Amino acid sequence: EVQMVESGGGLVQPGGSLRLSCAASGFTFSNYAMSWVRQAPGKGLEWVSTISGSGGSTYYADSVKGRFTISRDNSKNTLSLQLNSLRAEDTAVYYCAKTEWSFALHYYYMDVWGKGTTVTVSS
């Protein structure tokens, strides 16, 4: 069974840092892009970042560029998101999602999602 389990969320003060992790299982991790998507309380889905299967290509939303860093360890089937300079508006549930992606064939979608981990930025 394909599964993603996020961890690392918690309460952090504004300006602080946090590292989220996503443990993937049930598929050949290195063959797939992976993404982080967040959802603020009562709000819609917001795409945060995507990383290619090799880790060589990364993409970020403008709202997090320069503050968040996505990475992956294909030997450990683990996806990470380093969150720095956190702001109140970063408060959200963060989802990890297996991503099917082809520039050549023009498709991009998230086919399996984790249950999410909650990040709260507050003093």
Partner 1 sequence: QSVLTQPPSVSAAPGQKVTISCSGSSSNIGDNSVSWYQQLPGTAPKLLIYDNNKRPSGIPDRFSGSQSGTSATLGITGLQTGDEADYYCGTWDSSLSVGVFGGGTKLTVL
Closest CA to 117 of 13, 4, 28: 4
According to CB under 8 A, which one of 31, 62, 75, 104 is a site residue for partner 1?
Answer: 62
Judged by CB, which is closer to partner 1: 83, or 110?
A: 110
Closest CA to 73 of 4, 17, 23: 23
According to CB under 8 A, which one of 35, 68, 83, 90 is a site residue for partner 1?
Answer: 35
Give the Cα separation of 112 and 99 in Å (integer). 8
According to CB under 8 A, which one of 23, 53, 67, 112 is a site residue for partner 1?
Answer: 112
Judged by CB, which is closer to partner 1: 11, or 108?
A: 108
Judged by CB, which is closer to partner 1: 53, or 100?
A: 100
CB 34, CB 94: distance < 8 Å: no
Give the Cα separation of 94 and 9 in Å (integer). 8
Which residues form the interface with partner 1 (CB under 8 A)? 35, 37, 44-47, 50, 59-62, 95, 100-101, 106-116
